[in-house]
Chain A
Amino acid sequence: MHMEKYLILNTLSYPILSMILMVPLVGALISLLIKDEQRLKIFGLLVTLVTLVLSLPLFTCFDLHTAKYQFAELRAWFPLLKLNYVVGVDGISVLLVLLTTFIMPFCILCSWRYINKRLGAFIFVTLVMEAAMIGVFISLNTVLFYIFWEAMLIPMFLLIAIWGGARKDYASIKFFLYTLCGSVFLLVAIVALYIKTGTFFIPALMDQEYSFAYQMWIFLACALAFAIKIPMYPFHTWLPAAHVEAPTAGSVILASVLLKMGGYGFLRFCLPMAPAATIYCMPYLIALSLISIIFGGYLALGQTDIKKLIAYSSVGHMGFVTLGIFLLNDQGLKGAILQMINHGITTGGLFIMVGMIYERTHSREIADNSALGMVIPIYVTFLGIFCLSSLAFPGTNSFVGEFLVLLGAFKRSTLVGFLAIPGAILAAAYMLRLLQRMVWHDSDGHAHHHDENEADDHSHVLTDLSFRELSMVVVLTFFVFWIGLYPAPLLNIMDASVTHLLGQISVGGAVADPHAGHHALLELGSWIKQVMTF
């Protein structure tokens, strides 16, 4: 085993990846000892902020010129199975780790008043969640990866089941079952890969050559797990339910980080380990992505519940991500990764905004939250910024991501490009509709402005953003424009890894000849083709 050739061992003064993994975990344990509610919140915030600060060198000290896994740590763990504790980040995962550590303080902050029962448990669960999510992104070992992948389910399940809304039982169980179903297949793939190669080490698994038939099975098993997670049509139905019932912090975690694991899984498992199968399945996955984009947007257009609208918009946005991934070209992949980050910031921001208005009006219906423009102008301004960002307005972060994905799509085929455009139109339609109704007038069309009494009512009840709330949205807004106007730092970080990944695909895809594959597999392929054309 020459694991070192894939790794650049950590040279910082502290084991950075293990630290950001352990700090939330230890914090979670300590939080159990704190009884006072105010102190609990402050402690939770401090832990997430410390984790964020500890993770910053990942950005500043990142070596842009290599696709190797950096800041790596390697320790023997279970020699009998050749199982090591090995963590590291490349240009793809480092951004997602940073997104996670960046978004977690917001999850605590936005729960400041929202969570008013079992606060201690909430802080504990949130911190465990953070550790598990970071673990998924830094693991370079399939067993570690799987442990964290599964570990994530329980805190998320609890977040929805304990602090959720009226239909929390339905939503939490649906979430749990869907993702669990997916991960069973992932486990099968991991075991199968171990039996075949005798290693759990992810970079080594990427370097193996597998027959086309074998690749196909691995690809399908993994892709199912990740397609459910991201979620891709037709596996998306758990998402709106989970989003609507989850507390604000749950929605933010779900939208900003959890969905990204599906995309990350595609990039880490499917593409490099099964390149020939990826190329073979590319048209179907592009088709499913396009359906997700248009279907998600179409459904978002009809929603009356703000959270549901944003949830369906996520399906559409994630469609752009999977589209970008399976275009298998430079712009597409970069756009997809950037879009994952953007979606984390923008949709996280939108969910935080919804949480704020829910705390004030106790309703998530658009109709109950209309004509706010004159009443709480600061809130509305930021809502407008996040909505515009979500519809990929030029100058905001999502535009860059969407532009790159579309560019990749047009490069792949003009038809694919044009088929993705309706998604962009729909995004503008549902976001502007939401904005129009929330800012300007009631859904029945009568102008709020003339209804003096009601407007007075509103202004007595509703207060504009507090300092805590303002600080959250200002920071997020800063990133909306920063990435929108100067995305180069992010694109540079992912550059080497994306190039490396494309190299893996073109080499592996050329070696494996689909026609030499197993007979049964070809049948499977034609079966998929039939289902898809049906």
Chain B
Amino acid sequence: MDTIITSKILLASALPMLTALLVMFSGKKPNLREVWSLAGALLTFLSVLSLLPHILAGGSYEYTLATLYPGVNIKFHLDGLGIMFAGTASFLWILAGFYCIGYMRGLEEHAQTRFYVCYAVSVGAAMGAAFAGNLFTLYLFYEIVSIFTYPLVAHHQDGEGYAGARKYIVYLMFTSKAFLLPAMIIIYMQCGTLDFCYTGVVSGIFPEGANKTLVVVSYLLCLFGFAKAGIMPFHNWLPSAMVAPTPVSALLHAVVVVKVGVFSICRVMLSVFGVQMLQDLSLGMFTAYFVSFTIITASIIALSKSNLKARLAYSTISQLSYIILGVAMLTPNSITGGLVHIANHAFSKITLFFCAGAIFVACGKKDIKEMGGLGYRMPITMIAFGLASLSMIGVPGSAGFVTKWFLALGAMDIGSIGILVVLLASSLLNAGYFVPVFLTAFFGKVAPADKGLSGSLENKPLIMFMVVPLLITSIISIILGIYPDLFLSIIHVMIN
């Protein structure tokens, strides 16, 4: 199918930026501020949706905004991978918009204008990354995400907030300057362009006879440079970022920010290096085993955390590496499994974070041990949590199962028992740290302070702003397990 050249694809990243401006100028009026946020989110999603049919038919969109130097452009190119990420993120932004109202008002947070502005810009920049048509554009938006999420992480402006935010920015800026920048230059030097390869995922942009050592070096620099993907050893920023308000942890640090990292790595692997090159240099299997370490280790650390958000953070680190694992195995099945997990994990993990935030607003609890009996006072929240957990574990019928099915198929395609063992072990570990939360909520001992308290915590209007979105996302994470066709067909179009 053909490539349509249109500036229409700028809308998806321009709308959130415009939203941010409107929010900024209506700073004194909370209602108006939230209306702009929701309207911006909705319009962004619709603008992405309007591009879907052409992509599903195998086409793509393209637009070049500016040229810095021959081969270094600000260029947008939308294909299946991009629209899957952009669609997921913008859809979840709508729900997160409602959730923010409940959370921020419920806790009477300060500096809400700043919060909404940075929130919108971050989403807009992530859209830009999803639509990026070359490595420079990707890098540009990747960095904008880093800068604009800093105020969100430091939101509470206390010692803990500053310490977390500092770690956050140091990790992200250091890796991007130290690894990504040289990687980009080496790639440009070898290829004479930073544009992605738009014709399938098999061949990359490297010319015949490229210096193999430099290819390997630039690949490794990319792998570690996109630290937002949370691959160990550059993962520590993510638990630190949990000091942010929960809507930030939910949308940004489970979906937008981390997925920008993972998306970038996938994009670079598939559209810069290409399957053929990675296979020839055995970089695929190296990456697969490397991220397997992250999958297992992060899960083990998650087991040891009793703070709910911390546990979720380590679970995120582990799950993100699934995506890279899938792509790294370099078979059609495994790549499908990896990429579809970008969406699957998004819906499930945002639910879990939404639940954690709702619990915190409703009764101020952060620690799992204190949540005994909470299931009876917040039934919808805890059931949603259970559903999302099922998807995380990969129980058949849930979104996570689709991922693991394809990953397992991929592992068998390449005949790697090791990867299969990793998949199995991590599923068990997932169960190990999610099931106890659910069990505690319904069957655990009620904390002494809560003795005698009863009645629903979910009936206040502000809490409803949080409960409804999390219910929706939890249901979607099941639906995606039963009807996975939409995302699978998008990926199918892209791979072939």
Contact = CB atoms under 8 A, between A and B. Distances in A.
Contacts of A488: 67
A421 B177 contact: yes
Given A421-B182, A428-B173, A432-B173, A410 B189 contact: yes
A404 B69 contact: yes
A441 B74 CA distance: 35
A374 B113 CA distance: 11
A434 to B, nearest CB: 13
Contacts of B173: 425, 428-429, 432
A447 B162 contact: yes
Nearest to A431: B173
Interface string A387-417: 0100001110000100110110011001001
Contacts of A487: 68-69
A196 B181 CA distance: 47
A450 B158 contact: yes
Interface in B49-93: 65-69, 72, 74
Contacts of B159: 445-447
A440 interface: yes
A389 to B, nearest CB: 12
B464 interface: no
A150 B491 CA distance: 68
B214 interface: yes
A252 to B, nearest CB: 26
Interface in A472-524: 484-488, 491
A447 B189 contact: no
A272 B72 CA distance: 30
A414 to B, nearest CB: 7
Given A425-B178, A432-B169, A447 B68 contact: no
A440 B181 CA distance: 28
A411 B139 contact: no
A529 interface: no
B167 to A, nearest CB: 12
A18 interface: no
A27 to B, nearest CB: 38
Given A388-B147, A488-B67, A441 B157 contact: yes
Contact of B214 (A395, A414, A486): A414
B69 A418 contact: no
B194 to A, nearest CB: 10
Interface residues of B, number: 35
Contacts of B188: 407
Interface in B151-193: 154, 157-159, 161-162, 166, 169-170, 173-174, 177-178, 181-182, 185-186, 188-189
A498 to B, nearest CB: 14
Contacts of A436: 166, 169
B178 A421 contact: yes
Range class of the A interface residue count: 35 or more
Interface string B287-310: 000000000000000000000000
Nearest to A446: B159
Prevailing SS type, chain B contact patch? helix
B215 to A, nearest CB: 13
Given A394-B136, A410-B186, A421-B178, A440 B157 contact: yes
Nearest to A420: B182
A397 B123 CA distance: 24
B143 A393 contact: yes
Interface in B245-277: none
Interface string B133-144: 000100110011
Contacts of B182: 406, 410, 417-418, 421
A87 B139 CA distance: 44
B158 to A, nearest CB: 5
B162 A441 contact: yes
A449 interface: yes
Nearest to A394: B140
Contacts of A491: 69
A486 B147 contact: no
Interface in A428-462: 428-429, 432, 436, 440-441, 445-450
Contacts of A422: 178
A424 interface: yes
Contacts of B157: 440-441, 447-450
A422 B186 CA distance: 16
Contact of B177 (A428, A446, A450, A484): A428
B154 to A, nearest CB: 6
Contacts of A374: 111
B138 to A, nearest CB: 10
Contacts of A484: 68
Contact of A424 (B136, B154, B181): B181
Contacts of A447: 157-159, 161-162
Given A440-B157, A440-B162, A406 B181 contact: yes
A486 B159 CA distance: 41
A337 B140 CA distance: 23
Contacts of A446: 159
A440 B162 CA distance: 9
A450 B214 CA distance: 51
Contacts of A432: 169, 173
A394 B158 contact: no
Contacts of B69: 400, 403-404, 487, 491
Most A-side CB within 10 Å, residue of B72, B144, B177: B177
A486 B67 CA distance: 6
Nearest to B136: A394
Nearest to A335: B69
Contacts of B68: 400, 403, 484-487
B66 A425 contact: no
A393 B186 CA distance: 18
A411 B185 CA distance: 9
A258 to B, nearest CB: 28
Interface string B431-457: 000000000000000000000000000
Contacts of A428: 173-174, 177
Nearest to A427: B177
Contact of B185 (A394, A400, A410, A445): A410
Contact of A406 (B67, B143, B185): B185
A407 B154 contact: no
Given A403-B69, A404-B69, A440-B157, A421 B181 contact: yes
A497 to B, nearest CB: 18
Contact of A407 (B139, B170, B185, B214): B185
Contacts of A485: 65-66, 68, 74
A508 B55 CA distance: 57
A403 B182 CA distance: 9
Nearest to B67: A488
Contacts of B185: 403, 406-407, 410, 417
B234 to A, nearest CB: 14
A486 B73 CA distance: 10
Contacts of A404: 69
Contact of B140 (A395, A406, A429, A448): A395
Interface string B107-135: 00011000000000000000000000000
Nearest to A409: B185
Contacts of A448: 157
A425 B170 CA distance: 10
20 contacts: A393-B143, A393-B147, A394-B140, A400-B68, A403-B72, A406-B181, A407-B185, A417-B185, A424-B177, A424-B181, A425-B174, A440-B162, A441-B157, A449-B110, A449-B157, A450-B157, A485-B66, A485-B68, A486-B68, A488-B67
Interface of B: 65-69, 72, 74, 110-111, 136, 139-140, 143-144, 147, 154, 157-159, 161-162, 166, 169-170, 173-174, 177-178, 181-182, 185-186, 188-189, 214
Given A395-B140, A406-B185, A485-B68, 6 more contacts: A422-B178, A441-B162, A445-B159, A484-B68, A486-B68, A487-B69
Q: Which 4 A-B pairs have the closest CB atoms?
A: A394-B140, A449-B157, A485-B66, A425-B177
